[in-house]
Amino acid sequence: MSTLLSPVVLFFALGLIAALLRSPMSVPQSFAKGLAIYLMMAIGLKGGVEMSKTAMDAQVFLVFGAATLLSFGLPFIAYAALRVTSGLSKMDAAATAGHYGSISIVTFVAAIEALRLAGVPSSGYLVAVAAIMETPAIISALWLAMRGGTSKSAEETAHDRGELAREVLLNASIVVLLGALIIGAVAGADGFERLSPFFVSPFQGVLCLFMLDMGLNAGRGLRRGWRKLGVAPIAFGLYMPLIGASIGALLSTLIGLPPGDMALLMVLSASASYIAVPAAMRLALPESDPSVYLTLSLGVTFPFNIALGIPLYIAVATMIAG
Amino acid sequence: MTDLNTKLRLELIIESPALRRAEDVLKESGATGWTVLPAMSGFGGTTRWSRGTDISESTDMVVLICIGDANVIKPALKRLHTMLDRRIGVLNVSDVRVLRPDLF
Contacts for A157 with CB less than 8 Å, ≥ 6 apart:
A150
pLDDT of residue A163 exceeding 80:
no
Q: What is the pLDDT of residue A6?
A: 84
pLDDT digits (tens, 9 = 90+) for A293-302: 988 999 999 9
Kindly determine whether residue A29 and residue B86, on different chains, have CB atoms separated by under 8 Å: no
Q: What is the pLDDT of residue A159?
A: 67
Nearest Cβ partner for A163 among B20, B47, B83: B20
pLDDT of residue A158 exceeding 80:
no
B24 — contact with chain A (CB < 8 Å)? yes
Q: What is the pLDDT of residue A154?
A: 60
Question: Number of Cβ pairs closer than 8 Å across A and B?
Answer: 68
ipTM value greater than 0.85: no
Which helix (H) or strand (E) is A266 found in, with range?
A: helix A259-270
Q: What is the pLDDT of residue A253?
A: 97
pLDDT of residue B31 exceeding 90:
yes
Decide which of A36 and A249 is more confident: A249
Confidence of residue A151 (pLDDT cuts 50, 70, 90): low
Closest chain B residue to the Cα of A171, Cα to Cα: B56
B102 — contact with chain A (CB < 8 Å)? no
pTM: 0.85
B41 — contact with chain A (CB < 8 Å)? no
The Cα–Cα gap between A247 and A232 comes to 22
Nearest Cα residue to B61 out of B44, B38, B90, B83 = B38
Q: For residues A28-32, give the mean pLDDT.
A: 86
Kindly determine whether residue B52 and residue A281, on different chains, have CB atoms separated by under 8 Å: no
pLDDT of residue A63 exceeding 60:
yes
Nearest Cβ partner for A29 among B52, B59, B83: B52
Backbone angles phi, psi at A56, to 5 degrees: -85, 95
Q: What is the pLDDT of residue A194?
A: 92
Confidence of residue A150 (pLDDT cuts 50, 70, 90): low
Q: What is the pLDDT of residue B51?
A: 81
Decide which of A78 and A155 is more confident: A78
Kindly state the percentage of chain A with pLDDT values over 90: 62
pLDDT of residue A124 exceeding 60:
yes
pLDDT digits (tens, 9 = 90+) for B35-93: 999 999 888 877 778 887 777 788 889 999 999 999 999 999 999 998 888 888 999 99
For residue B89, the cross-strand partners are B14
Contacts for B90 with CB less than 8 Å, ≥ 6 apart:
B12, B13
The Cα–Cα gap between A245 and A153 comes to 39
